[in-house]
């Protein structure tokens, strides 16, 4: 009886989706993911774009949002496979742009609807892709409201 209850509880816990404020790099990430995709910016959480989007990102690394992020084919494949394993399936996670941006999904816009427009262009922020400018613990995969790094955002939190 007790065991049955425990099993039922474990099943319930598994069916609850991971909290949206915790987006750590999945444990099966190849070392190349952090090394290559975390050298110019945060290694973005793979769950923030859909599989077709990640394929498009990984298909044109030589023209990567104005930069060149080319990889050898073995490493490119290894990272792509990892991203696809964890890609989002919901349409609200579909990116826009060429290559697609995870800062242009319906989900991202909604989560960030309270950010005042000029703040995205603020010298301390420099753009929506610079997650760590606002999320003080982004490097640790944590995006909780109380960890917001800019004073004006923290004030908002309290309101």
Interface residues with ligand HEC (CB under 6 A) are 20-21, 23, 36-37, 39-41, 44, 57, 61, 64-67, 69, 79, 101-103, 111-112, 114-115, 119-120, 125, 127-131, 133-135, 143-145, 148, 153
User: For the residues of 145-156, what is the DSSP string, one character each?
Assistant: GGGB-SHHHHHH
User: Phi first, then psi: what are they for 141, rounded to 5°?
Assistant: 75, 25
CB of 4 to ligand HEC, least distance (A): 34
Nearer to ligand HEC, 3 or 39 (CB): 39
99 upstream amide cis, omega within 30 of 0: yes
CB of 89 to ligand HEC, least distance (A): 17
CB of 61 to ligand HEC, least distance (A): 6
Token reading at 117: 């427009």
**Rounded CA separation 15/9 (Å):** 10
């Amino acid at each position: 009886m007790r065991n049955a209850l425990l099993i039922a509880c474990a099943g319930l816990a598994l069916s609850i989706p991971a909290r949206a404020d915790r987006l750590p790099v999945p444990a099966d990430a190849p070392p190349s993911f952090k090394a290559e995709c975390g050298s110019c910016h945060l290694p973005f959480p793979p769950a923030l774009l859909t599989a077709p989007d990640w394929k498009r990102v990984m298909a044109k690394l030589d023209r990567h949002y104005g930069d060149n992020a080319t990889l050898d084919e073995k490493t490119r494949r290894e990272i792509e496979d990892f991203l696809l394993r964890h890609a989002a399936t919901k349409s609200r996670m579909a990116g826009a742009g060429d290559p697609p941006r995870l800062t242009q999904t319906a989900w991202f816009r909604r989560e960030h609807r309270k950010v005042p427009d000029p703040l995205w262009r603020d010298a301390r922020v420099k753009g929506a892709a610079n997650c760590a400018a606002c999320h003080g613990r982004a490097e640790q995969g944590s995006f909780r409201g109380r960890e917001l790094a800019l004073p004006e955002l923290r004030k908002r939190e309290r309101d």
